[in-house]
Chain A
C-alpha cells in the first residue's frame, strides 16, 4: 500500500522529521493518557467515556513513533493503513493530511479509532514492545485525526475517479458493507446499499452503545459516503423484499453480502425463556436502536436491579455497562473461564470495573428459576476450574459440581451469534454454498459459489470484529472491481 500513498516514507518532510530527533529522545516520552469521564458521573448518562486527546498531546504522541523502515504496526492492521504516514503527518501538524492518509484505506477511521482492538493489532506489533515500553497510541491518534477532520469546516475528500456507470449492490449497511461501498464508490462504481432496518449503520447503530461509539460519529461517516454518491435504501430485506434475481434484473453487475451475524445464540438451559431473560442483541437493540428508556420513545425495556450478563466478550461488556446506565444496582459479568481468557478488549473490562461491574468468573449458568408469573428470579451457577487448552488455545472451563444461586431480575445472554439465515435461505435454490454453521463460503477473493456474489464480515466469519468485517469489504471491493473492469459489461 505504501507505494501508492500520499505520504510515502521517502518524502523529504518525513526524512527531516526523522533527523530532527534521536530515537533515544523519542523513546523517553511517556505514552499519552486518554482523558476519560469520571466513572461515577458516566454511569448516570450515555456520554462517550473516552474524551479524546488534545492537539498538543497528539503531536507529542506522534513524535514517539520512530518511523521504522519496516513498519511492523502495518502488518497488524487488517486493512494495512499507512500508519507511520498518518502519524508523521500529525507530528508535523498537518492533521487534515493525516486524515486523508487514513481515508486511503479505511472507510470509517473515526469508528476504528474507537472500537478496534488496537492492543491486539497494530499496537501489539509496535517496535516499542521490544524495548519493553508501551507502544505508540496508534488508536488514539487515529481517532484524533478522524475527529479533527470531521469537526473542521473543510473535510478532506478523497480524490474521485470518473464514474464507470457499473451498478453494484450492497446487502447490509454495517462495517463490511460500508467499507465495501466506500471503496467501490472511490473506484468509480454506482453503489446502492440496501438495509433491512430503519437506520443505516448495522451493528454500529444497534449494537455498540452510544457511550463507546456515539451515533453522530457513525452518521458523519455515512454522510461522507453519501456525499461521495453512495445511495442508501433502508427497510429493504434482500431475499424477501427484493430477491437476488431481481437485483440482477435491475442491472446490478455485482452484489456484496454483508448481512451480519443475525441470530443470537442461547445456551439451551432450563428457564432460558423466562421473562427477563434475553439476548444481548435484543437488549442493545432496544436501547441503542429503538431508544428504549429515553423520554418519548415508545419501545419498552426491562430495567433490572440485579442484572447478570452471561459472556466475556465486548458485547457482554457493552450490555453490562448499559445495564448500569439503565439503573441497575448490581450488574454482573458471568464468565465460565477466568479473566485472562476473556475475549473482550482490555479497555472495556477496565472501564466496566471502574464503573462498578461485579465479575463472577469461573462460573457457568446451568438453570434459571422464576416466580409464579414467569419472571426470572435466580440464576443457578456452576463453579468451574481451568483445564487443558481447547481448540481456541484458551484453557477450557471444567465443571466442579459445586453450585451457587445468584438473585437476579434480568439476564442478558451474550454467548455469541450465528449467521443470519435470511440470505443463505433465499439463495438455497441458486447453488449458494453455505457451511454447516450457516456461514456463506467464499474464496480468497471473497467471492461465493455464485459468480459475482461476494460476501464478507460476520455472514462469512460467523462473529468477528468491526475491523475484520471492514477488511473483508475492502478485499471484496478490490476483487469485484478487478473482475468487473477486466470484463467490460455489455451496454
Chain B
C-alpha cells in the first residue's frame, strides 16, 4: 500500500500524483518505470517515473485517464492509497556527455522525459527540449522543463501556443540549424515513429522509450515484446529505451491495439 501525498491536475484527464515509495525513490534512475495497481481486482499498469524525492521518500507519477484502470488511479485523492507500487523496473537511460541532445516529448510523455532532461543537462550536454501537444492546455511541466533546458520549443497542433505544427517540425528546426548528437523521444508510439523516420534521414542517433502493454513488468509474460533490429525484445527487461531507428513501430502500434 502506497499513500498518495499530493495531487495536481495538469488538465482534465492528466493528473500528477506524488506517492510514498521510499525504496523506489532511493533506487530509481532516469528512464525507470514502476508497475502500479489500484484495488484488489485492479490491473497492473506500467508508469514511467517522472521525478523522485529521496528526502521525503516519494516518487512522482503522471497519469492520463484513458481506460477504466487509469481513470480509477486519477480519481485517487491525497491520503488514499495505491494498492501496489513495484519498481524501479527496466534499464536506466544511458546518461553521458553526448554534446547537443534534443529531448522531444508528446503529451504525458513529457513527464518521464523530465528526469532525462535534468540528467542530460547535469552530464554537461546542451539540451534542447521540444514539447508537443494537441493544444495549449495539454502542454505539461513546461516550467520544470525550462529550468533544466538550454532552450525549449513548444509545438501545438492547433497553434494555440508556441508554434503551430508537429513535434517533428520542432526537431527538424534544431537539426537544420545546428549539429545534434542525440535525440531522445517519449510520447505516443505514432509520434515516436515519425521522430525516428525524421532523424534517420539525418542519421542522428535516437533513443525512444516504449510504452507497450505489460502484465508483470519483470520479464515473465512477454506481453510487451517488440521487434528491434529484427529480433524480439522485451520492453520491461531489455528496455524500455531502444535505438528508435531499429524499432518496428508498425508492429508495436498493431500490438497496442490487442485489447481494443
Q: Which residues of A contact B (CB under 8 A)?
A: 196-198, 206, 234-237, 240-243, 262-264, 266, 268, 272-273, 275-276, 278-279, 281-282, 285-286, 290-291, 296-300, 302, 373-374, 420-422
Neighbouring B residues of A296 by C-beta, 8 Å: 41
B258:A421 contact, CB within 8 angstroms: no
From residue A412, how far is it (CB to closest CB) to chain B in Å?
A: 11
A237:B218 contact, CB within 8 angstroms: yes
Neighbouring B residues of A275 by C-beta, 8 Å: 254-255, 257-258
Interface residues of B in 60-93 (CB under 8 A from A): 68-69, 83-89
Given A278-B223, A374-B257, A422-B219, A241:B23 Cβ within 8 A:
yes
Given A273-B225, A273-B232, A198:B27 Cβ within 8 A:
no
B88:A281 contact, CB within 8 angstroms: no
Q: In the complex, A462 Cα to B222 Cα: how many Å? A: 17
From residue B228, how far is it (CB to closest CB) to chain A in Å?
A: 12
B41:A266 contact, CB within 8 angstroms: no
- Cβ of B37 under 8 Å from chain A: yes
From residue A55, how far is it (CB to closest CB) to chain B in Å?
A: 36
Contact code string B210-253 (vs A, CB < 8 Å = 1, else 0): 00000110111111011100001010010000000000000100
Q: In the complex, A279 Cα to B236 Cα: how many Å? A: 15
Best-surrounded residue of A243, A272, A282, A286 (most CB of chain B within 10 A): A282
Neighbouring A residues of B222 by C-beta, 8 Å: 263-264, 266, 278-279, 281-282
Q: Which of A197, A266, A300 contacts B232 (CB 8 A)?
A: A266
Q: In the complex, A242 Cα to B22 Cα: how many Å? A: 11
- 23 sample A-B contacts, Cβ–Cβ < 8 Å, listed by A number: A197-B216, A198-B84, A235-B85, A237-B86, A237-B87, A237-B89, A240-B89, A241-B23, A241-B87, A242-B23, A262-B218, A268-B232, A273-B232, A275-B258, A281-B220, A282-B222, A285-B215, A285-B216, A285-B221, A298-B42, A298-B43, A298-B68, A420-B219
Give 18 A-B pairs besides A237-B87, A276-B258, A282-B221 with Cβ atoms closer than 8 angstroms.
A241-B24, A241-B86, A241-B88, A263-B219, A263-B222, A263-B234, A266-B225, A266-B232, A273-B227, A275-B254, A275-B255, A282-B222, A298-B41, A298-B43, A374-B254, A374-B257, A420-B218, A420-B219
A264:B220 contact, CB within 8 angstroms: yes
B24:A422 contact, CB within 8 angstroms: no
Q: Which of A196, A268, A291, A298 contacts B69 (CB 8 A)?
A: A298
A-B contact count (CB 8 A): 111
B44:A290 contact, CB within 8 angstroms: yes
A235:B68 contact, CB within 8 angstroms: no
From residue A411, how far is it (CB to closest CB) to chain B in Å?
A: 13
B215:A290 contact, CB within 8 angstroms: yes
B27:A240 contact, CB within 8 angstroms: yes
Neighbouring B residues of A241 by C-beta, 8 Å: 23-24, 27, 86-88
B24:A279 contact, CB within 8 angstroms: no
Q: In the complex, A236 Cα to B254 Cα: how many Å? A: 32
Contact code string B164-196 (vs A, CB < 8 Å = 1, else 0): 000000000000000000000000000000000
B37:A262 contact, CB within 8 angstroms: no
From residue B64, how far is it (CB to closest CB) to chain A in Å?
A: 17
From residue B1, how far is it (CB to closest CB) to chain A in Å?
A: 9
Neighbouring B residues of A240 by C-beta, 8 Å: 27, 87-89
A282:B215 contact, CB within 8 angstroms: yes
B234:A273 contact, CB within 8 angstroms: no
A285:B43 contact, CB within 8 angstroms: no
Main secondary structure on A side of the interface with B: loop
Q: In the complex, A423 Cα to B234 Cα: how many Å? A: 16
Q: In the complex, A296 Cα to B85 Cα: how many Å? A: 21
Nearest chain B residue, comparing its CB with the CB of A419: B219
Neighbouring A residues of B41 by C-beta, 8 Å: 291, 296-298
Neighbouring B residues of A420 by C-beta, 8 Å: 218-220
Nearest chain A residue, comparing its CB with the CB of B225: A273
Nearest chain A residue, comparing its CB with the CB of B45: A298
Neighbouring B residues of A198 by C-beta, 8 Å: 37, 44, 83-84, 86
Given A262-B219, A374-B254, A290:B232 Cβ within 8 A:
no
Q: In the complex, A241 Cα to B86 Cα: how many Å? A: 8
B84:A235 contact, CB within 8 angstroms: yes
Q: In the complex, A291 Cα to B225 Cα: how many Å? A: 22
Q: Which of B225, B237, B259 contacts A300 (CB 8 A)?
A: B259
Q: In the complex, A237 Cα to B218 Cα: how many Å? A: 9
Neighbouring A residues of B39 by C-beta, 8 Å: 298
Nearest chain B residue, comparing its CB with the CB of A275: B258
The 8 A-B residue pairs with the shortest CB-CB distance, nearest first, are A282-B221, A374-B254, A235-B86, A298-B43, A279-B222, A262-B219, A198-B84, A300-B259
From residue B225, how far is it (CB to closest CB) to chain A in Å?
A: 6
B237:A421 contact, CB within 8 angstroms: yes
Q: In the complex, A286 Cα to B27 Cα: how many Å? A: 28
Given A298-B43, A373-B257, A422:B232 Cβ within 8 A:
no
Best-surrounded residue of B84, B221, B254, B255 (most CB of chain A within 10 A): B221
Neighbouring A residues of B37 by C-beta, 8 Å: 198
Neighbouring B residues of A196 by C-beta, 8 Å: 86, 216, 218
B254:A299 contact, CB within 8 angstroms: no
Given A272-B232, A279-B221, A234:B255 Cβ within 8 A:
no
Q: In the complex, A165 Cα to B39 Cα: how many Å? A: 36
Q: In the complex, A300 Cα to B24 Cα: how many Å? A: 28
Best-surrounded residue of A242, A266, A298 (most CB of chain B within 10 A): A298
Neighbouring A residues of B237 by C-beta, 8 Å: 263, 421-422
Neighbouring B residues of A235 by C-beta, 8 Å: 84-86
Given A241-B87, A273-B232, A275-B257, A262:B24 Cβ within 8 A:
no
Neighbouring B residues of A273 by C-beta, 8 Å: 225-227, 232, 251, 255
B43:A290 contact, CB within 8 angstroms: yes
A262:B85 contact, CB within 8 angstroms: no
From residue B53, how far is it (CB to closest CB) to chain A in Å?
A: 17
B86:A236 contact, CB within 8 angstroms: yes
Q: In the complex, A268 Cα to B216 Cα: how many Å? A: 22
B223:A282 contact, CB within 8 angstroms: yes
Q: In the complex, A373 Cα to B258 Cα: how many Å? A: 10
Neighbouring A residues of B42 by C-beta, 8 Å: 298
Neighbouring B residues of A291 by C-beta, 8 Å: 41
Neighbouring B residues of A278 by C-beta, 8 Å: 221-223
Best-surrounded residue of A235, A268, A300, A302 (most CB of chain B within 10 A): A235
Q: In the complex, A262 Cα to B39 Cα: how many Å? A: 25
From residue B42, how far is it (CB to closest CB) to chain A in Å?
A: 5
Neighbouring B residues of A299 by C-beta, 8 Å: 43-44, 215
